[in-house]
Amino acid sequence: MVNSAPDAVDSATDTLSDHELMLAVRDGELDALGELFERHHGPLYGFLVKLTGQRTAAEDIAQTVFQRMLKYRHTYRDDGSFTAWMYHLGRRCAADHFRKNNAAPAATDPSQLQDHADDTPHAGDRAATRDDHALLHSALGRLDRDDREVLLLSRFQELSFAEIAAILECSVGAAKVRAHRALRELRDTYFQLQKEKLT
């Protein structure tokens, strides 16, 4: 995690949990949100890039999420989970973004492909990996947004299914079923795209 918090963020906040920090924000210590930003903006942004397929949109939405945290800080509950609340706001903001732009997420953002370079030594392997990532992004882009959300939350964000269920406002059992169904959908689409590429 990048951690170059400005001086405004008190180093004493390092030892506090996310929940304690958010309670402090709620009680008027707004600087505590700086530490929460440093801890979470990276994973949140990553989730939003995969969800929207667009880097610019993901940045805008992440910004809006932290803006809403400030605006609605008084609604944060004593028994809340900060991460679940953040992703709850995240998917709401993403839904608003899609509604405003009246567009489904892009299957693949070509500018993303540059970011997929990895440490594979051979150029041919690197190209294959990039292609594979692009195919997976395309497959993700073809899922329903609800399926994509549950899959990304369950794989990347280190959330329990209880928290995912709270974010999606459904039961734990329903969240599990939806996550598994989404994975099967992704597999079908991903393999189909691989076949199409080979032929």
Partner 1 sequence: MNCTHAQERFADVFDGRLAAADTAEVRAHLASCPDCQREYSALARTLAALDALPDARPGPALRKNFYAMLEEEKNSAASVAAATARHRHHARVSLWRWILAPAAAGVLALGGFLLGTRFATPAPAPAPGLDPATARIIADLQARVDSVGQLVGMSLLQQRSTSERLQTVLATLDKKNPDQKVISDLIGLLALDPSTNVRLSALDALYPHANQPIVRSGVLATLPREQNPLVLVAMIDFLVAARDREAAPELEKIVRNETIDQGVREAAKRGLAQL
Site membership for partner 1, residue 197 (CB under 8 A)? no
Min CB(89)–partner 1 separation in Å: 14
Binding segment (CB under 8 A) for partner 1, from list 13-21, 79-87, 162-170, 178-186: 178-186
Q: What is the 3-state secondary structure (H, E, C) of 40-91?
A: HHHHHHHHHHHHHCCHHHHHHHHHHHHHHHHHCHHHCCCCCCHHHHHHHHHH
Rounded Cα distance, 97 and 102, in Å? 8
Site membership for partner 1, residue 179 (CB under 8 A)? yes
Q: Which is nearer to partner 1, 77 or 187 (CB)?
A: 187
Backbone angles phi, psi at 56, to 5 degrees: -65, -45
Site membership for partner 1, residue 62 (CB under 8 A)? yes
Q: Which is nearer to partner 1, 2 or 123 (CB)?
A: 2
What is the rounded end-to-end Cα distance, in angstroms, of the chain? 41
Interface positions, 71-100, toward partner 1 (CB under 8 A): none
Rounded Cα distance, 6 and 47, in Å? 24
Binding segment (CB under 8 A) for partner 1, from list 16-24, 39-47, 77-85, 96-104: 39-47
Q: How many CA within 13 A on the CB side of residue 114?
A: 3
Structure tokens at 141: 């882009």
Site membership for partner 1, residue 158 (CB under 8 A)? no
Rounded Cα distance, 194 and 131, in Å? 10
> Among 70, 95, 127, 128, which residue interacts with partner 1 (rule: CB under 8 A)?
70
Q: Which residues bind partner 1 (CB under 8 A)?
A: 2, 6, 8, 28, 30-31, 33-34, 37, 41-43, 45-46, 49-50, 55, 58-59, 62-63, 66-67, 70, 112, 115-116, 118, 132-133, 136-137, 151, 154-155, 161, 176, 179-180, 183-184, 186-187, 190-191
